[in-house]
Structure 1
């Protein structure tokens, strides 16, 4: 028998105060499904639920309920009920009267009301509680009363907006199973909103992953967990190892400078991708049996298994000295013109290729008028630079004749080589003034530029490697002195769930099956 589509969201757009919170949502929900809208705070899941409930109106789009456009239908005429995180029970009424409230509004007979209320009490496991004061009940019991009050009206759909959020962990887990049991027994559609991935995986027939007002993926819990469409979904559902790689061709993916067989296809040749391998799908084996190898950085006991962090690709690190010197602008005697420059280091192998523009950039040489901060050009450069180790003088001059002289220090620059990571990193000591650091608007980028920090693949010097920067000074309160700046590449750590005993510092092999490698499209941000 073909499933019936009960609810259709078509191009739903909603804006609040100039911010679009729903960006053209299209979604089908079937009869008798338990559907969970899952995502972080602010992703739009509650807004979508409230539009369905009639508490908000979409700016654009349509909501089709049982083949009827319900845009103009007020909430009380829609065949659905809502259970909120705050149960909103009537404290002056007992359990019976709370559940019966909607039925009394409809002016049903007492016999019918009795039958329906008692059936609901049996359904939620609270038989004999009809005369109890709701304020004396536990949070879990109050939650069940709120659900019974909504279900007794026999809606086609029950909307649940984070209804378990106020419960403690143990009770919340119990109520997850209870909610699923109730949904299966009453046989109606439940639409559940949460940011808790465990709740979604435990209860749902279908999960809708949302991010920033858009749907990222729709699927069963198994599909979402085993076949996430991108890095966001992989990280949001379950624990993941997400690795950047390249899809060489169908069924062949490359990461960590190795090519692995996989089950994925349909990507462009050499397309940049993300790969996810779940921690429970990685096995620790003897070193010589591993598809990849690494060092155990930490081990945490998690009860029936251990969580091991294994560094498979060590990062490459270079530390340099940033010499912070006093401000040393040179001022003209005849005008408000100023000029400044810094000493700088250069590798002996680069000397022959340096031109005037390179020297200006490396020295951060500049000239300007103090009155309006307008730049003036540096028209002449003189130096005695040779392809020999040592210190050389360079003089920068403006058209008006204002000059400043600094040092070029030629060194045999060493670089750090990382054979396992197939990469190398190089960076120079450098000189900067207090003001130059304070006035930087993109300090991380400027530090890399000032230190001429670069990374590259050993197997291909033309292939760049991303460099990250770290420092422990406060740029707003920097003073003269020498500060250490660290440039490094990102290593790789894999999380492994294992019942094997491993020790920190141990070298281990890691292996996984072909089907455990899941290739995803690279996600744009």
Structure 2
């Protein structure tokens, strides 16, 4: 098989605007007759790279090699490439013929050669008989085709297309996707197409270049990028995905949702944390006893050609606690030189064996200070009738000058909520705070977890902690005295499934897939 020839080589392209680095050392090869799509969200650098190739921008570093020669210093009009812009940039005072012929007339070609080329272009874009038509009276799709014909009439080696379909409606966009691919195959030149639309990229491209924040994440065929994304970003950007945290136990063995699955991936370290992706169309809903995993159908949406079904396989675990917001509890010494404050608090019976004075000061958030200087004063005495059994007790915190405050302790048998299916447990305490403490918190979610001593862990490994999420419905800025509900929860796990078979909401089902449907990716560093 004949080896394809490189036509464009980007070598370590760096570009900055006002100290913001937009391209961070891009290396990319583009071959003759390829349809290449630069794909990524707004601001990822794809249009900047195109404009550097076109000659409208200069890179801060790097080389742009075209057909073996560095063209970095070549002006745009001397480069063997043409650009089709998002807004088409047709000349409104010229008809279709004159727009297409514009570049040929500048090149001083003879009239009969211009005639032949324009007529060939009109035939190519399916607008024969439109040569005298006013371009402002054409539809968006027709204007787009004229812009492409004008660019192709000059016989460039490469055609650059900067989001050329974004101004068209959905139906026309789909039609133009196929037309563009057909035109590229017929004229047999390299097309470099910029878009943020994944469907356009998958439909038209021979090669997709996925970009993020000025860097290339993956280069490959549409099939490669869709079926074998290199990381979570690519998997999320191209198509719909179910993405799980997993652990690669060994070659061809991956664990997620606390289940070990066979897969086809190799080359990871033993027990390496990974991201796992399974596409919605690769999962089948089966009877519970036939599934590799089981779950409950949470929702069913009809999408026209398929149903989108959400199945919860691992239910989240949650615990509710009461946050008692009290007035500021402080005592002032008789001479006014000291203040002391503390909160009531709860202790789990299980924690009683380890509790000491330092722990009690921390639990009560007890502190003393000089009101004139705000300097903290040591609490050097803690007196309590606390016993190692359930009940209500008192505790008194004092300074060396005998400034003291007395609060309450409740010893409780704290309920642990276990979720056997998720292999996890969660617990948290009711707690007491003042409005000021809540308003002054810089990281309220973290502080709420600390104040409630909220934690979640694996049932089969108590040392393996699980991330907790916090939910509350009060406004921290305007909180008043009272009792407020705070919920701590772990994240459950749902799978999105695309299927032509209807399934009933609320039904227990099994899910199955093949080892090759599991795609294991390295963890991304964000």
Structures share fold, TM-score greater than 0.5: yes
Aligned alpha-carbon RMSD (Å): 1.3
What are the equivalent positions in structure 2 for 1:1-16 lying under 5 Å apart? 1-16=2-17
What are the equivalent positions in structure 2 for 1:252-263 lying under 5 Å apart? 252-263=253-264
Encode CA deviations 1:45-66: one digit per residue, 9 max, x unaligned. Answer: 1111111111111111111111
What are the equivalent positions in structure 2 for 1:10-409 lying under 5 Å apart? 10-335=11-336, 337-409=338-410
Partner of 1:445: 446
Encode CA deviations 1:172-230: one digit per residue, 9 max, x unaligned. Answer: 00000001011111111111111100000000000011111111111000000000011
1:336, CA displacement in angstroms? 5.2
SS of the counterpart of 1:352? helix
SS of the counterpart of 2:117? helix
1:153, CA displacement in angstroms? 1.1
Please list every run of 5 or more consecutive structure 2 residues that lacks an aligned counterpart in the other structure. Answer: none
Q: Distance in 1 between matches of 2:200 and 2:103?
A: 29
Q: Distance in 1 between matches of 2:340 and 2:210?
A: 56
Q: Distance in 1 between matches of 2:42 and 2:140?
A: 23
SS of the counterpart of 2:380? strand
1:283, CA displacement in angstroms? 0.6
1:151, CA displacement in angstroms? 1.0
1:347, CA displacement in angstroms? 0.4
User: Given the alignment of the two structures, is residue 498 of structure 1 paired with residue 507 of structure 2, yes or no?
Assistant: no
Q: Distance in 2 between matches of 1:104 and 1:336?
A: 93
1:371, CA displacement in angstroms? 4.3
Q: Distance in 2 between matches of 1:239 and 1:53?
A: 33
1:400, CA displacement in angstroms? 4.5
Q: Distance in 2 between matches of 1:103 and 1:127?
A: 19
Between the two proteins, the alignment pairs up a number of residues equal to 525
Please list every run of 5 or more consecutive structure 1 residues that lacks an aligned counterpart in the other structure. Answer: none
Q: Distance in 1 between matches of 2:337 and 2:81?
A: 76
1:383, CA displacement in angstroms? 2.2
Taking structure 1 as the reference length, the TM-score comes to 0.98
What are the equivalent positions in structure 2 for 1:478-489 lying under 5 Å apart? 478-489=479-490
Q: Distance in 2 between matches of 1:378 and 1:22?
A: 57
1:15, CA displacement in angstroms? 1.4
1:333, CA displacement in angstroms? 4.2
Taking structure 2 as the reference length, the TM-score comes to 0.97
Name whichever of 216-225 and 492-501 sits farther off. Answer: 492-501
1:318, CA displacement in angstroms? 0.4
Encode CA deviations 1:101-153: one digit per residue, 9 max, x unaligned. Answer: 11111111111111111111111111111100000000000001111111111
1:355, CA displacement in angstroms? 2.2
Q: Which ranges of 4 or more aligned residues in structure 1 deviate by more than 6 Å? A: none
1:296, CA displacement in angstroms? 0.3
1:335, CA displacement in angstroms? 5.0
SS of the counterpart of 1:25? strand
Q: Distance in 1 between matches of 2:121 and 2:340?
A: 84
Q: Distance in 1 between matches of 2:66 and 2:478?
A: 61
Q: Distance in 2 between matches of 1:350 and 1:512?
A: 45
